[in-house]
Structure formats: C-alpha cells, structure tokens
Structure 1
C-alpha cells in the first residue's frame, strides 16, 4: 500500500493482513479530520506497577505542522533493555482530546513485528467520543510468548522490532503511528 493511495483505501481488514511493518505512513497528519490529539501517556508493568515510560502533555509539542509528516519526526523509538522480556503484561494509558466533531466507533489496531514476522496483534475499541472532550483510556497488553532464542535474537538486533498503530473512525484511517524497539542492555 503506497502512502499516495491515502487513507480512504486503507481498511481495518487490510491492515490485519500486513505481514511486516509499513515502509511509509499510510495516511498523512491532515487526514485526522476529527482533530484527535494524543497528550500524556504512560507504559507500566501491570504486575509490579513499575513505570517504564511516562510522558506528560507539557513534554509534547502538540502544535501539528506539515513538517511533522516527516517520518523521522513521526517515528517513536523505545529503548527498553533486555529486562523487558521478564514482563508478562503491560498497561498503556493514553490521554487524548477530540475536536469539534463527534468521533464514532474509534478503533485502534496495533501490529508488532520482528524481521517481517508478526509477533503480536492488538485491537481496542474506544467506542464513541463526544466533541471537545478529553478522554483517558488504558489498554492492557499480554506480551507475546517468545522462545529464549527469539528474545536473544531481538536483543542482538536493536531497532529490528517494529510496530504500526492504526486509528480508524467508522473504518476510515485517520492516524497511523510507527515505532521501533531496542532490547539491548541500557547504558
């Protein structure tokens, strides 16, 4: 799927069939005509409660510009270290605001890959979001069961674990985020 096709051609069923991470974003920032803006987010271990990532809204630049469509800016990189593989369940708590339009049937599909192999897929239905609202949602992820060899291979190959996150409103793609992960020891 080329980015030039734009989001009207990208459906939830199509992204469910992807066998590897996208090379380009499948929609531009201007496709977010519902003005959904993500603010603070936190990733934590659901067993111990330890916080792995904690970004507050004031840490983010929420002034969206066309330059932000640059893949170098829109790609998020996480360096978790090898201890991440000891976790079984994590929670991702996000805060987001909605613009002046109602947002019916908000759906998130997230696919994680290692070397063009799907290792886990998640789907979360947010449902309806009222106009001009601030919302908070926590998604609980059971981490994939990986062999010791697979974990070591991911540790030995930083940034080769990737994910695509797609947000749909009434089956229309409005947001596409990409991430890369590093599980090598933290320095």
Structure 2
C-alpha cells in the first residue's frame, strides 16, 4: 500500500468513526430532553449535631439550609443542561481535529524525510493541500449553516461525501434540509453526496 492509499484509508476510518459516534449520541436524544424536566428536589438534611458553641453563621446555615441546597441543585441542573447542549459536537470536533493533526504531522514528516522518494513526497504534498482546502471549505460551510439559526454545526468530508451534523432546538424541515444540501454542493463544487443529521437539544 503506497502512502496515498494509507492516507485515504486513514481519512475514511476517521469519517466512519465520526458517523458511528454521532449516531450513538443521537440515540440519546430522548434522554437529553429529560434534562430540563421538572423533578422533585431532594429535601435538605437539617439535622446538625449539637456543639458547645455554634456561630451565628452556622445557625443561619441550619435555618436556611433547604433554600441554599435547592439553589445549588437548580444551578447544577442548568449547567448540566448547558453541557448536554454543546457536548456532542464539541467532542466530535475535538476528536476529528486531533486525528487530522496527527495525519498532517505524518504527511509533513514524509515531505521532510530524506528516505522518501520524489513520488512519495509529491503524493504527501497533494494530500496535505487537500486537507487544508477541505478544512477551509468546512469552516465556511459551518459558518453559513450556523447563521441559519442552529446552535452548532460540524461539517466533515471524505472523498466525494459531505456529512453535516446539526444541533438545535427545532428540527429542520425538508425544505431547510434541501437548502443545506445545496449549500454543501455549492461550497465544495464537486457535486458531493451530502448527508444531514440533526440532534435536538431541547
């Protein structure tokens, strides 16, 4: 297997892993919706051991303990809900960037190596240029789609395929989905096969 085939195979593996990961995250949509549901807040334990000397601050904490705990519980729930809203795409983006960084490092190593022949260096340079170009298109397309009102967007490419991951409070209509597909085809200008996946963060 030559260097070009190795790079292509590596990109395909990253793409497949990304798809599987997002699908597994998407299966938890129902659970995500439950984060914001109303549930009974555990009652604060107001029992305190008697001590010979309790400060005024300790007494106040005992008296208002329930209110303080409820406030912390509510704050924690909001923070957890916020994390749920942004975590899936952020995790994917982080993992993909890491894989791409490793691949770029390998390609640069091939180009700089004295052991690589002219063909290997040329193929590595072409692959590096493609990664750079694809990244630029992905960034532009993500910005354009996000401007439509989605909370977060991740665009990934693999050969002739473009995959768009969306997160938001409202699922796109068929018309909106078709618009996103046309935006992707226009941005990459290669008439790619476009897949759009949506995850609700209500």
Q: TM-score, normalised by structure 2?
A: 0.26
Greater helix content: 2
Between Structure 1 and Structure 2, the one with more strand by share is 1
After TM superposition, the score normalised by the length of structure 1 is 0.28
Greater gyration radius:
2
